[in-house]
Chains A and B, each alone.
Chain A
Amino acid sequence: MILAGILSPITVTHYLVVGIILFVCGIVCLVVKRNIIAMLIGVELILNGANINLVAFSSPQLFASGTAPLLLDGQVFALFVMILAAAEAAVALAIALQFYSRFGTVDVDQGGQLNG
């Protein structure tokens, strides 16, 4: 059965599964890691999981007519997300640097100053 699954042609579902796996990995990474850099990596993973999703949903297979009105919707979204991710990474890394210079560590749990 597994084989059959492997051998079957790649459908949108497969993309989605990959996206989900990436997304969940990212989430887990965010939740588990205390290292701010690792958490940034988790964020990237989440964004990429989402990107795959976007791209997958713009597949023509999902449309009854077989053609999407404009086949590049998902890809364009993905491109935007990537650009945003780059910007985000720049900002986040700057924060991380500041964090490090202030607390002398990259462990986010140490920065509990705004704790109520």
Chain B
Amino acid sequence: MEAILPQLLLAAWLLPLLSFVVILLAGARMGEGGRGAGYLATLAVGVSCVLSIIALVWWLGHHPLGGHGGHSEVLTGDWYTLAQFESLRFSVGYYVDSLTLGMFVMVTFIAFWIHVYSFGYMHEELHDVHDPFVTGADGRNLVRPGRFHRFYQYLSLFCFSMLGLVVANNLFMVFAFWELVGICSYFLIGFYVERPSATLASNKAFIVNRVGDFGMIIGLATFLFACGTLHYAMPGNASEHHPGLFSIVKDATNQLQDKNNAASSHEGTPTNVGHEKAGGSSGLETANKIERNRALTPVLLTLAGLALFCGCIGKSAQFPLHVWLPDAMEGPTPVSALIHAATMVAAGVYLVARIYPLLTADALLVVALVGTITLFLAATMAVVATDIKRVLAYSTISQLGYMMLGLGVGGWVAGLFHLFTHAFFKALLFLGSGSVIHACGTNEMPAMGGLWRKMPWTAATMLVGCLAISGAGIPLVIGLSGYYSKDAILAQTFLFHRMNPLFGWMFYVALGVAGVTAFYMFRLWFLVFWGKPRDEHVAHHAHESPRTMVAALVVLAVLSVVSGWTVPGTSWGITSLLEQSRVTPATETGTLQSAVALRIPDEHASHEHTIHAWVSGLAFLAALIGFGIAAVFYGIRWLDPEDVRQRFRGVWELLAQRWYIDQIYDAVFVRNALRLAAVAAWIDRNIIDWLADHAALSVRRLSQWDDWIDRIFVDGAVNALAAGIYDMGIRLRRWQAGKIRVYIMWIVIGIVALFIIGTIYLGIGANISRG
């Protein structure tokens, strides 16, 4: 029976891929302007959504909610092996627990409504598009064919990649789909390829993500090296296979704990973590394992976990790699809603949650710190931004920071809960802003105002979104979804504050930023919908969006309200669903030698009523203050924000320039990388080539010398000999005069001379005379 679940998910996962392939090949031929592509993609993701819901229901039927975490069964297995080298296996497989299913439903559901919404938003692309942001060399705006089908093609690919990332049962597969969602994001940010700003933003997004992925590769390599596998848990019978990452790390840390408990007097035995597991395998493998696991020291484990977290920093736009997300708003607004708010950027948070059992307390502290810094920085930037989408982008970064903080301080469920609720209300806010932009044709909030009357549905749903993100609710009674999830994070942080006083400031920062969140969200709402129209032209053209868009808004608004609630009369809800697959970190206390003792609090402790009441009240107060300030400045306009801006010019400039982080990166990394590249090219041209050319030249020079020596000495000697003989011949020629008389005379003289010589020296004459 269990076999049906992987098959359901496989179908849900591959349907968008099928849609992608069909649109890729058939493309523009699918109906007028490629409209059929939209239907196909929407159908595919809709069916995926239905399949996911069926899978979830099936799962809940077998694993009823309400239990406590850590004991839930996990269904894991491989679909397909990419490569295998001895025991190192790289495969595509599934790891199904309630979190996976929850993510599946959430992703496909939001994706489905965004597909629907895009029919309205992208309808321009059905015919030739007149792009007002691109001016050709002839001074006219560019007119290009529509790319409706391309948009849906990328969306389908994205859905496939995102689902692949969620369902993955090993880090290798996660990494592969991690990159794939990155490339989908690249394509969709740069959807308007004619706009230089869009292509620049897409490049930036991908390259910044790659910086994170660089760390992630290191993390993967470390785990592969230290544990010999990248699977979370090995499919099948554990005795036949090597254990998965989770159990290896668990064994390692357990052994560590045992070791410590067994007192320090017992010295000398190495930490053969995972030794027991290795018991059944052959001698060689045992040796391998001992050797390898010996490398799995807490330091290495922490570093490896952090290296993996680097990938999450990049994908979830955390400080210091947050710079790409605001620029990514160049893409069409549905994309911003789906990818850059609800799903892809949350993948980083999802991954941290997935690899939670691999993270030590020290690594979690870093996660929390990064989250805190991010949520603060991003919120401050959002305060001064005027581009409606950028405000939302900063807000997204800030909320992702909350999730990281939640996870980092031990609130596994809290962080993920916020991921789900945030997905709904942030998608809603983005779609609402898309509706506004669609109506106004501009992103600038100062040009809007008073749109409440023109587009009531949008205004109302946006208000719901703002309330949800601000965490509105009646403390301890009822609230919107954001109220629950944010309170859960804050409560956990408060608990962390109690246990680790040194890091208490994180709680206050998070609390303060909750107020700031309310401020900038209502600033946005007031600026756009409240008051009087500031630009007659814009206001005149504004109109309510088509029904497809409004439908999506309403559905998401409803979910933004209710997604935090439990089913009446039971404790069933997103939290109990997540609670089912809750995991604990690798260590709950700090393992590194540091000045501070670190303890990650247990999540259940934060459910304590007193803590909850306290934190809830404080958060509500903060949000109320934020709302109040926004209302004072932008709602009833008792105060003019311009005055404040003038007075705090420096601060305003700092925030508007995003703390100058982009400029610093540009100066430090981009410029230097380019400079280094130029140096490499210079070395190539001027040193290596110079050497090669001069080696060749010097050989040529040598050969010229050789040639010279050849001609002067070797040839010279031969020529001199020949010349001498020639000269002698010339000289002898005179004797060879052709005068027979002379010859005869010489003959005679010669004979006489021979005779004389013979006589004198050889005594021939003497013999003759004697004879």
Contact = CB atoms under 8 A, between A and B. Distances in A.
Given A116-B733, A116-B736, A108 B744 contact: no
B748 interface: yes
B748 A108 contact: no
Interface in B345-377: none
Nearest to B742: A31
Nearest to A113: B738
A27 B740 CA distance: 12
A116 B734 CA distance: 9
A34 B741 contact: yes
B737 A31 contact: no
B741 A108 contact: yes
B739 interface: yes
A102 to B, nearest CB: 15
A30 interface: yes
B745 interface: yes
Contacts of A27: 744, 748
A32 B741 contact: yes
Given A27-B748, A31-B748, A112 B738 contact: yes
Nearest to B740: A108
A114 interface: yes
B432 to A, nearest CB: 119
A28 B137 CA distance: 115
B736 A31 contact: no
Interface in A63-116: 108-109, 112, 114-116
Nearest to B748: A27
Interface string A26-38: 0100111110000
Contacts of A31: 741, 744-745, 748
Contacts of A32: 741
A34 B741 CA distance: 8
A37 to B, nearest CB: 14
A39 B744 CA distance: 11
Nearest to B734: A116
B126 to A, nearest CB: 107
B744 A30 contact: yes
A30 B733 contact: no
Interface residues of B, number: 10
Interface residues of A, number: 13
A114 B748 CA distance: 23
Interface in B740-771: 740-741, 744-745, 748
A62 B745 CA distance: 32
B753 to A, nearest CB: 15
Contacts of B739: 108-109, 112
Contacts of B745: 31
A39 B740 CA distance: 10
A46 to B, nearest CB: 10
Contacts of A34: 741
Of listed B733, B740, B745, residue having the most chain A CB within 10 A? B740
A34 B737 CA distance: 14
Contacts of B740: 30, 39, 108
Of listed B739, B741, B748, residue having the most chain A CB within 10 A? B741
A115 B738 CA distance: 5
Nearest to A42: B744
B289 to A, nearest CB: 102
A31 B743 CA distance: 9
Contacts of A114: 738
A30 B745 CA distance: 9
B750 to A, nearest CB: 12
A56 to B, nearest CB: 15
A116 to B, nearest CB: 5
Interface string A10-40: 0000000000000000010011111000010
B612 to A, nearest CB: 133
Nearest to B739: A109
A31 B748 CA distance: 10
A114 B743 CA distance: 14
A109 B741 CA distance: 9
A30 B738 contact: no
Interface in B705-759: 733, 736-741, 744-745, 748
A44 B543 CA distance: 149
A32 B742 CA distance: 9
Contacts of B737: 112, 115
Given A27-B744, A27-B748, A34-B741, 14 more contacts: A30-B740, A30-B741, A31-B745, A31-B748, A33-B741, A39-B741, A108-B739, A109-B739, A109-B741, A112-B739, A114-B738, A115-B737, A115-B738, A116-B733
Q: Which 6 A-B pairs have the closest CB atoms?
A: A115-B738, A31-B745, A112-B738, A31-B741, A30-B744, A116-B736
Interface of B: 733, 736-741, 744-745, 748
25 contacts: A27-B744, A27-B748, A30-B740, A30-B741, A30-B744, A31-B741, A31-B744, A31-B745, A31-B748, A32-B741, A33-B741, A34-B741, A39-B741, A108-B739, A108-B740, A108-B741, A109-B739, A109-B741, A112-B737, A112-B738, A112-B739, A114-B738, A115-B737, A115-B738, A116-B736
